[in-house]
Amino acid sequence: MFGAGLSVCTSDTGIFNGLNLNPPVMGFADKSVLGASAEDALGTSVTFQLPEKPFFSDVELHSQMMVVSVSAPNIGKAMLTPPFIPQLNDYYGRNAYFIYNKARAERGSLGIIQNVTSDQLTLRALPFTKVLTKIFETFGMKAQPSPVWPGQRTAD
């Protein structure tokens, strides 16, 4: 019906078991950048000037996206590199980047999806207590900080 040379392909668990598919992943060398932090009523934010990127700056390519992986030290009682829990991507996006579907948990970093023409990145540091509460909530448990009793010292 479709002519000579037609190939009929079938799939089974031996072919598509998740181990035989290895899509290519492009990566670039790590680059350190300086971040400027700011405090406001919402907490701490850090703005990074992104390094020069190996992309063309032609107008036709402005719709292309990239993932900026951020691995940064903790800031007081908050973090810029949350735990690798992909179930919290929505939370990370809404609270660290303010765009719910543009943040991805990575092993040892937080990936932010940005346009290739972006020159800077601003992230909000995530408070440890809120992240821990969200982790427990994600897995069906309720957690809250213990109350501080009179005369009891708090850990800072």
Q: How far apart are CA 102 and CA 120, in angstroms?
A: 15
pTM of the entire predicted model:
0.73
Residue type for position 5: G
If DSSP states are collapsed to H, E and C, what string results for the chain? Answer: CCCCCCCCCCCCCCCCCCCCCCCCCCCCCCCCCCEEEEEECCEEEEEEECCCCCCCCCHHHCCCEEEEEECCCCECCEECCCCCCHHHHHHHHHHHHCCCCCEEEECCEEEEEEECCCCEEEEECEEHHHHHHHHHHHCCCCCCCCCCCCCCCCCC
Q: How far apart are CA 13 and CA 11, in angstroms?
A: 7
In whole angstroms, how far apart are CA 50 and each of 19, 34, 69, 89, 116?
A: 35, 9, 11, 22, 10
The total number of residues written for the chain in this structure:
156
Cα 4–Cα 10–Cα 12 angle in degrees, nearest 5? 165
Domain ranges of the chain: 35-138
How does pLDDT run along the chain (156 residues), one tens digit per residue? Answer: 566 776 666 666 666 666 666 666 677 788 889 889 999 988 899 999 998 877 776 777 678 888 999 998 888 889 999 999 999 999 999 999 999 999 999 999 999 999 888 889 999 999 999 999 999 999 999 887 778 777 666 655
Q: What tokens appear for 44 in the block?
A: 């701490």
Looking at residue 54, its pLDDT comes to 76
Looking at residue 69, its pLDDT comes to 92
